[in-house]
Structure 1
Amino acid sequence: MPHFNPLIARLSPPPVPSVLAWGKEYDGARGPRIDLSQAVPGYPAHPDMLAWLGEAAASPAYTGYGAIEGEDVLRAAYATHVSGVYGASVTAENIHITSGCNQAFISTAMAIAGAGDKVLMTNPFYFNQETTLSMLGIGVELVPCDAALGFLPDIDAIASALKPGVRALALVTPNNPTGSVYPPALLRRIFDLCRTNGTWLILDETYRDFLPEGSGAPHDLLTVEGWQDSLVCLYSFSKSFCIPGHRLGAITAGPALVEQVAKIMDNLQICAPRSAQAAIARALPALDDWRAGNRAEITRRAEALKQVMSGLKGWKLQAIGAYFAYIRHPYPDIRSEFVAEKLAKIAGIVCLPGDYFGQGQEGYLRFAFANADVPTILQLEERLSNFNLPGI
């Protein structure tokens, strides 16, 4: 028998492919398959975005290695964008471009913590972040998020969990899997606790562009004096620009942490995809109106799902926001993995079970509703109302 790194061997296989495999066994009897599994945009990239990608990809200028920290033009453009979003003073020195937000997280985690250190996460958690820490030998402690509190952590629970030596607290807002949005005041209180404890706050804001119109700045943390010593903000260009296959993310942090991440990136990938960086640098200022239209469309999809869930018996919309809805299924004594498998195979609804997001999540399903248009979402009412588990 071959021997593998036990930190890797003990992990479960990647969850999304297994769920998609269930969907392939659906016979089409209820209509076309409805894929609510992976968080991918349910509409194409802007034609100009595609043209800029093609132009950059065909240019010899982008076939060589680039700067480890990212293309200067994108670092500057994104710094300007972040400054506008948060009303803060952020410069290119605060930006490191990565190949997707998952790479941003693993690079940040490696820069901040080592094997045997402790990092806090919430329960439920985004599974890729939990497995990242586990494979690095970094201990994970969980702060519970109660449905009664909208799946937001209790500030006293965070204060109790922030023991001496905790290297970081990792939060996702808008949240994956629940969709819950952390209010700015709560984030400020959490950040103050982290700073007092000497703990980094890692804030994954992959879905921030899909906050409701008029929400204002997601938080004021980038305006706090000395934020560079305690805060790391993560972002993904994939959702807003519909280019998940081009793998492009960003870290906003102090120059000292950017320097540490560059050491890691030099070994992971050397540089993020260069042609995509050139295209995004042009798209950031140019496609604001298009992105605003997409945000409005996602809001319409969320409203459609709320309408569907309000008419169903037994199924409960527990939380919703940005790309995700967290649904309590009507089978309290049956694990959500079994329910999700049967939903995919029998009803053609492909979603992720709550089991994948932490202990105690067996009663929930995650619907990535942004993948489907409004007419498709409205079909869920009939399929869910007529769904019954075999033998139940």
Structure 2
Amino acid sequence: MATPETTTESTPAELPRISKRIGGIAESATLAVDAKAKALKAAGRPVIGFGAGEPDFPTPEAVVAAAQAACADPRNHRYTPAAGLPELREAVAAKTLRDSGYEVKASQVLITNGGKQAVYQAFATIVDPGDEVLLPAPYWTTYPEAITLAGGVPVQVTADETTDYLVTVEQLEAARTPRTKVLLLCSPSNPTGSVYTREQVVAIGEWALEHGLWVITDEIYEHLVYDGAESVSLPVVVPAMADRTIVLNGVAKTYAMTGWRVGWLIGPEDVVKAATNLQSHLTSNVANVSQRAALEAVSGSLEAAHGMRTAFDRRRRTIVEMLSAIPGVECPTPKGAFYAYPSVKALIGKELRGTTITDSVHLAALILEHAEVAVVPGEAFGTPGYLRLSYALSDEDLKTGVTRLADLLAEVQ
């Protein structure tokens, strides 16, 4: 009697659940620190958070009122053009001329879901796989992830406290290769608060022009400058670069509107058109109520922004003075934004409460555990050996938090 043939079905190899592209993305370190601080607070611990770059002021009343009115208007219950409300694009163009002296048309403006989407879409629109992007460090944690998602290669160019964290043309030139296509510039800077001078911006712009590079310049902290520093827009001081420059901005920092999620991208019309095509598939239009609120913000007075800047300036001077008094901590005075970026390299390798401090990640963990103060380690910004502290929190919390930090670090041996 014939024996029936046995068939063995092959089991396909299990495919990865998460794509390599998305699996390679690191969580936002600043948001992770902020979330942990808030979770500990909710659990009853008196944690003071210096993590998130978020103004502690309420959104101006006129902006909130504009949003409330917009909720009742049926126009805002529907889709609008992917590039943004036409009147908001016009207003952003007018605001850009008013604030930085850069004259652009509304057709050069794309309204995005916060500044982060503007960052991502800028790189996605002009970067091809293998293109190199010069990335001055310390850098905001989102930049390298956005570059990598676009298929680009971040090339870190590092500056330290001896040069106020500002890179030179000579450093940029040393990092440039035939594959270099873009330079990322952020001034005033997150995470350091450093501000490039007019002369430095001109020199960098002329160097980029000479080598046919693109510049993506993040100007979201433009109104937060101190000690006579000025926020200089590169295409204004090097007009010939206008056709190869993308300007990023938004309402989050100037108007205390981080949660409203409205940013924008300004660039040559063909770039804006291409980025709009991407956005039409990615998110469609920004929420209309938020756009109406942003319209009120950018069209209105800067009085509230100036009031916030006065408070930030006071806190800036306080935090620098207090941090500089801690042995082993070196804190340059920031001239913009609302961050201090002290070096703690002198503390690495020393003992604290029975353990050896291995790096600034470890130090930040010890500070959170023993002082109940949340700070972001420099590793998140490409430069180990530093801490970032946002001083966008109340004067009282700032003093209490840095005092706790100082008391703990006084135990370092």
Q: Is TM > 0.5 for Structure 1 vs Structure 2?
A: yes
Q: In the TM superposition, what is the alpha-carbon distance from 1:174 to its structure 2 partner?
A: 1.0
Residue 344 of structure 1 aligns to a residue in which SS? helix
Partner of 1:337: 361
* Code of the aligned partner of 1:332: I
User: What does 1:195-274 correspond to in 2, within 5 Å?
Assistant: 195-212=209-226, 215-216=229-230, 218-219=232-233, 221-222=235-236, 224-274=238-288
Q: In the TM superposition, what is the alpha-carbon distance from 1:25 to its structure 2 partner?
A: 4.5
Partner of 1:356: 380
> How far does the alpha carbon of each residue in 1:58-116 deviate from its partner, in whole angstroms, 9 at most, with x for none?
32111211112111111111111111122232221221111111110111111111222
Confirm whether residue 58 of structure 1 aligns to residue 72 of structure 2. yes
| Change beyond 3 A, Cα 1:6–1:252 | same
Contact 2:327/2:410, CA 8 A, preserved across alignment: no
Partner of 1:35: 49
Contact 1:86/1:220, CA 8 A, preserved across alignment: no
Pick one of 360, 382, 385 that aligns with 2:403: 382
- Unpaired stretches in structure 2, ≥5 consecutive residues: 1-13, 350-357
* Code of the aligned partner of 1:331: L
User: What does 1:85-164 correspond to in 2, within 5 Å?
Assistant: 85-164=99-178
| Change beyond 3 A, Cα 1:391–1:305 | closer
* Code of the aligned partner of 1:188: V
Residue 284 of structure 2 aligns to a residue in which SS? coil
Contact 1:312/1:381, CA 8 A, preserved across alignment: no
Partner of 1:367: 389
| Change beyond 3 A, Cα 1:200–1:220 | closer
Contact 2:218/2:248, CA 8 A, preserved across alignment: yes
Percent identity among equivalent residues? 23
Paired residues, number? 388
Contact 2:190/2:337, CA 8 A, preserved across alignment: no
* Code of the aligned partner of 1:362: P
> How far does the alpha carbon of each residue in 1:294-343 deviate from its partner, in whole angstroms, 9 at most, with x for none?
11111111111122123322222135231111012252232111111121
Residue 182 of structure 2 aligns to a residue in which SS? strand
Counterpart Cα distance in 2 of 1:324 and 1:217: 16
Counterpart Cα distance in 1 of 2:298 and 2:41: 40
| Change beyond 3 A, Cα 1:220–1:12 | closer
| Change beyond 3 A, Cα 1:352–1:140 | same
* Code of the aligned partner of 1:173: S
Contact 1:312/1:385, CA 8 A, preserved across alignment: yes
Counterpart Cα distance in 2 of 1:53 and 1:84: 24
Q: In the TM superposition, what is the alpha-carbon distance from 1:364 to its structure 2 partner?
A: 0.5
Residue 278 of structure 1 aligns to a residue in which SS? helix
Q: In the TM superposition, what is the alpha-carbon distance from 1:223 to its structure 2 partner?
A: 5.5
Contact 1:308/1:380, CA 8 A, preserved across alignment: no
Residue 70 of structure 2 aligns to a residue in which SS? helix
Residue 240 of structure 1 aligns to a residue in which SS? coil
Counterpart Cα distance in 1 of 2:117 and 2:312: 26
Contact 1:37/1:367, CA 8 A, preserved across alignment: yes
| Change beyond 3 A, Cα 1:310–1:257 | same
Contact 2:320/2:333, CA 8 A, preserved across alignment: no
Residue 80 of structure 2 aligns to a residue in which SS? coil
Residue 254 of structure 2 aligns to a residue in which SS? helix
Contact 1:28/1:348, CA 8 A, preserved across alignment: no
Partner of 1:325: 340
Residue 256 of structure 1 aligns to a residue in which SS? helix
Residue 332 of structure 2 aligns to a residue in which SS? strand
With normalisation by structure 1, the TM-score equals 0.92
| Change beyond 3 A, Cα 1:216–1:355 | closer
Contact 2:132/2:153, CA 8 A, preserved across alignment: yes
Counterpart Cα distance in 2 of 1:106 and 1:271: 16
| Change beyond 3 A, Cα 1:389–1:293 | closer
Q: In the TM superposition, what is the alpha-carbon distance from 1:205 to its structure 2 partner?
A: 1.1
Residue 341 of structure 2 aligns to a residue in which SS? strand
Contact 2:216/2:245, CA 8 A, preserved across alignment: yes
Counterpart Cα distance in 2 of 1:151 and 1:391: 26
Higher-Rg member (1/2) = 2
Contact 2:320/2:340, CA 8 A, preserved across alignment: no
| Change beyond 3 A, Cα 1:233–1:246 | same
Q: In the TM superposition, what is the alpha-carbon distance from 1:33 to its structure 2 partner?
A: 2.1
Counterpart Cα distance in 2 of 1:378 and 1:351: 14
> How far does the alpha carbon of each residue in 1:279-301 deviate from its partner, in whole angstroms, 9 at most, with x for none?
22122232311111111111111
Question: Looking at both structures, which has the greater relative contact order when contacts are Cα pairs under 8 Å and sequence separation is at least 6?
Answer: 1
Counterpart Cα distance in 2 of 1:255 and 1:38: 34
Partner of 1:346: 370
* Code of the aligned partner of 2:198: P
Pick one of 148, 157, 173 that aligns with 2:187: 173
Counterpart Cα distance in 2 of 1:94 and 1:136: 22
| Change beyond 3 A, Cα 1:362–1:217 | closer
- Unpaired stretches in structure 1, ≥5 consecutive residues: none
